[in-house]
A = this chain, B = another copy of it.
Amino acid sequence: MFEAIELGQSLSKADFKTQEQQLRAELLRVQRALTESRVATLIIVAGVEGAGKGEVVDRLNKWLDNRGMETHAFWDETQEELERPQYWRFWRRLPARGSIAVMFGGWYWDPIHQRAAGNIDDAELDDAMQRIKELERMLSADGMLIIKLWFHLSHQTHEKRMKKRRAESSHVPHIGNGQSPKEYKAFLVTAERSLRHTDTGECPWHMIEADNRRFRDISAGRVIGARMIERHKGSRVVERRNQVHQPVVTISDQQKTILDKVDLDAELSQHDYNKLLARYQTQVNELFWRAYDAKRSTVMVFEGWDAAGKGGSIRRLTNAIDARLFRVISVAAPTDEELAHHYLWRFWRQSPRAGYMALYDRSWYGRVLVERVEGFAQQHEWMSAYQEINDFEEQLIEHGTILLKFWLHISPDVQLQRFRQREKTPWKKHKITEEDWRNRNKWDDYRRAVNDMVVHTSTGNCPWTLVSANDKYNARIEVLKTVCEQLKQALD
């Protein structure tokens, strides 16, 4: 793979000057065009030690307009980053639509180096590459232009540069340590395996011979320019749009859904409710302090029909928890900063710190519920979302986050009763809008969407809890009980 680009290419000073001038003008022009068309561009700069990744990035910062452009290295992770799932550090640095981010190593650096150092095995490396592939596919589908550059050095040049670096004891901190020839070889084996797995049609790797600095920089600039121009011309977008997905129809109209399995007759007397409420609230309080001590964070998702009692259940839970520990995130229309990113970005950014807790009143599942039913997301978008969401949740769980998901289920009759009752209560009136009535008319569409959601995302790692909520007392206690059980299990 790498030998193929060891061609000894170079560029004279004069040629460099001429080509640079033209390239700069071109880069600036296309950068402006992509800013205007609100394309997010991510440039990942990777390669062997000593290939001069830093120099390339400095050059790019010179050539491009560095307003609307940011460079990120992940060399000194902050405590806040360590307290969250691994990819949080990348998500918070992703470029917004219309801007450019340059990442040193990006998500490749850690797994490749871990494998080269022998800390993980091939299977684990492949897993990591699989995750990367999914992420890049997802971001590309969202319109991001991802340009991945790999800078290669021949064995001889590499050795020469490492020698020089060791002699120099340069002041500039390098991202990696100097590699010995043996390390270089091991690294190339790992790198090749990684690149092979992630060299996709949408996000190909661009291999650049880095022995000659001028040739290296012009080549990098050219690749970037070409990819940006190609994106500007929209060829990739068209390709994407034509790629029609077939819907996975999991139920037909006549069939039962998973929701029919919920026993909607479950009830609790007020007496039993009060008793159980007190018992579980005490438990919940203790359990969350234990989770805090254990530095385990918790994320809870509350979804359900309008008027199913999400707010009430959340309140019964939070009433029992120290207000310093939790945050209720009510998912409404995204802000414009959120709209400038992938739809999962707003949820990544809310990841709680170690020991803390986030309760979502509606969540990322909006993608496969309201956005699907109302047509806000195209079919291929919500169809891909199951996988994307499963990946996201898997990452939370891997990090040690305790994740709970509730669907509060009621019958259409009970919903109607509650709507009417709300309309009569002066201080609840605001809770019932035209939109609620409209959603109600789409009950069957939602029924189907909920079924598909549960089928696709109720995983072994993180099952859905379907709550019988025709009786509010029953719903609240079911939620509290489940929380206690799951927390106990996770913490023991």
Number of copies: 2
Q: Which of A28, A65, A286, A328 has the most CB of B within 10 A?
A: A328
Identify which of residues 312-337 in chain A touch chain B, using a CB-to-CB cut-off of 8 Å: 314-315, 318-319, 322-324, 327-328, 330, 335-337
Q: A29-B427, A72-B324 are in contact. List 5 more A-B contacts (CB 8 A).
A: A32-B430, A58-B319, A61-B323, A102-B323, A171-B289
The 8 Å CB contact of A315, one of B62, B172, B315, B430, is B62
A323 CB contact (under 8 Å) in B71, B311, B322: B71
Chain B residues within an 8 Å CB radius of A430: 32
Q: Is A57 an interface residue (CB 8 A)?
A: yes
Chain A's interface size range is 35 or more
Which B residues lie within 8 Å of A68 (CB)?
A: 330
Those 3 A-B pairs whose CB atoms lie nearest each other, nearest first: A67-B330, A71-B323, A79-B79
Main secondary structure of the interface of A (DSSP, over half): mixed
Q: Which residues of B contact A323 (CB under 8 A)?
A: 54, 57-58, 60-61, 71, 102
Of chain B, the residue at the smallest CB distance from A56 is B323
A361 at interface, CB cutoff 8 A: yes
| CB of A419 closer than 8 Å to a CB of B | no
CB distance from A102 to the nearest CB of B (A): 7
Cα distance, A323 to B28, chains bound together (Å)? 18
The reply to whether A315 and B66 form a contact with Cβ atoms under 8 Å apart is: yes
CB distance from A270 to the nearest CB of B (A): 16
A353 part of interface (Cβ distance < 8 Å): yes
With the chains together, A124 CA to B428 CA distance in Å?
Answer: 50
- Complex Cα gap A32–B426 (Å): 13
A314–B323 alpha-carbon span in the complex (Å): 46
Q: Can you list, as one digit per residue, whether each of A66-82 has a CB less than 8 Å from chain B (1) or not (0)?
A: 11111111010011100
Which residues of chain B have C-beta atoms less than 8 A from A67's C-beta?
Answer: 311, 328, 330, 361
Bound Cα distance from A328 to B70, whole angstroms: 8
How does the 8 Å CB contact mask read for A81-108 relative to B, with 1 for contact and 0 for none?
A: 0000000000000000000001010000
Contact B58 A322 (CB under 8 A): yes
On whether the beta carbons of B172 and A322 are closer than 8 Å, the reply is: yes
The answer to the question of A278 belonging to the interface, with a C-beta cut-off of 8 Å to chain B, is: no
